[in-house]
Amino acid sequence: MSNYAIFGDIHGNLEALQAVLHDSEQRGCQHFACLGDIVGYNANPSECVDIIQSMNCPTVKGNHDVEAIGIAPLLGMNPVATAALSWTREMLSLEQKTWIRRLPLVSDKYPDFSLVHASLDSPKLWNYILNAHEASSSFRKQIKQLCFHGHTHVPQIYISDTLSAANTADIKLGKETKVFLEPDKRYFINVGSTGQPRDGDWRASYAIFDSENRTVEICRVEYDVVLTQKKIIDAGLPERLAERLGAGR
């Protein structure tokens, strides 16, 4: 069996991360990959960095990770994200910041798939891929059949016919959450967010890739969201961050 658990946008949510790791191990995953945004928004950035660092799995950096290790004033983000990031900057150790700084923007450590936080065409610009048209730019740079990404916090599967990036289909995930990879197609898959889902479902999201059966499944896991919310309030982070977790928005 070769099952890979791919997760990202953890955003300092320790309870959600632990739930995802437990669930994926129960489902027989032996390999792991992280799509970045380990920190930001929630109250356990340092603990989440420690876990990912100790797992020693392929990991790419996200925009919140980059901001959290910076020293420049936080510009261009909403006030709630800014408040959480300046708090996060205080929480991370110098050693943790150095580890984050060394993370790549794209990882090809696993032969079967690539990893990127936002999009392959310009990983540093942190573009939000929200539809098939926007996904087509990323497909132009996708060499492997499979690439996983996050950033929007909404699970989504984009499919490209053969090598033509123009023919990109956009699958909105409803009840059907498992896809069989057809050999002549390419897939650009958003695994959703572990620590702050925004698709109306509060449960932590991640993906399992079964390399033998050639399937990708989006999985949702319940976690102790009340505890996570309490920690946000206790840390003095904006209350809005606790509210949105419960609504999955």
The angle, 0 to 180 degrees and rounded to 10, between the axes of the packed helices 45-55 and 79-91 is 60
Q: What are phi and psi of 187, to 5 degrees?
A: -130, 130
Query: Strands 215-221 and 178-180, how do they pair?
Result: antiparallel
Residue 212 CB, nearest distance to Zn ion (Å)?
31
As measured in angstroms, the least distance from the Cβ of 29 to Zn ion is: 22
Rule CB under 5 A: which residues touch Zn ion? 9, 37
At 151, give phi and psi (nearest 5°): 80, -45
Q: 159 or 221, CB closer to Zn ion?
A: 221
Q: How far is the CB of 153 from Zn ion (least distance, A)?
A: 6
Rounded least distance, CB 68 to Zn ion, Å = 12
Which whole-number Å values give the CA distances from 129 to 32, 178, 180, in the listed order?
23, 20, 22
| Residue 38 or 146 having the CB closest to Zn ion | 38
Q: Tell me how far apart the alpha carbons of residues 130 and 105 are, in angstroms, rounded to a whole number.
A: 20
Closest CB 64 distance from Zn ion, rounded Å: 6
> Between residues 38 and 120, which has the closer beta carbon with respect to Zn ion?
38
Name the 3-class secondary structure at 161. Answer: strand
- Cβ-in-10-Å burial (0-12, 13-18, 19+) of 165 comes to middle
Taking Cα atoms as reference points, which of 42, 78, 70, 92 lies closest to residue 237? 42
Residue 28 is encoded by which pair of tokens?
Answer: 């027989």
- Least separation, in Å, of the C-beta of 196 and Zn ion? 7
Provide the token pair at 214.
């050639």
Point out the residue whose Cβ comes nearest to Zn ion: 37
> Which CB atom, from 40 or from 186, has the smaller least distance to Zn ion?
40
- Nearest to Zn ion of 118, 159 (CB atom): 118
- In angstroms, what is the minimal distance from the CB of 80 to Zn ion? 13
Please name which of 116, 115, 224, 205 lies closest in space to residue 153, comparing C-alpha atoms: 205
Q: Which is nearer to Zn ion, 23 or 37 (CB)?
A: 37
Q: Which is nearer to Zn ion, 9 or 67 (CB)?
A: 9
Q: What 8-state DSSP symbol labels residue 59? A: B
